[in-house]
Amino acid sequence: MESLRQSNLNEVFSRKPAASGSLGNQKAHSQEELNRDFMVWIALDLEPFMMVNNKGMRFFFEKNFPPLKIPNESTLRKSYLNDMYDMVVDKVRADLASVPTLNLMFDG
């Protein structure tokens, strides 16, 4: 009998970045891709949307990656949250499609 286990967010977002020389040379193809990657970062690390407005994070990116335009939390929430939700739901549905039985347990 095959052992089943719960997927985690790392498996849901298993896309690997393209290999390239150094981190500074890896560029998003567009601002939209960069914004989507910020959204994946936030989801994987379970960070609040407000982290993109943090002074320290903005300082780091402005100093080390000046051409990057960091999205604000409002942009991420309004433009990318629903896509991220849909992506996770689709992945969960695909994972559960072949599961013959499911056992849910609640504490309380």
pLDDT tens profile 76-106: 999 989 988 998 899 889 988 988 888 889 9
**pLDDT tens digits, residue range 23-59?**
445 555 788 888 888 898 888 898 998 898 899 989 9
Phi and psi, residue 49, nearest 5°: -55, -30
Distance set, CA 34 to CA 4, 24, 57 (Å)? 34, 14, 15
For the packed helices 31-44 and 81-97, what is the interaxial angle rounded to 10 degrees?
60
pTM: 0.59
Residue 74 identity (one-letter amino acid): S
Tokens of 47: 């960070």
Q: Give the residue among 49, 41, 44, 40 at the shortest CA–CA distance from 73.
A: 49
Give the sign of the dihedral formed by CA 85, CA 91, CA 97, CA 103.
Answer: negative
Domain boundaries, the chain: 30-96
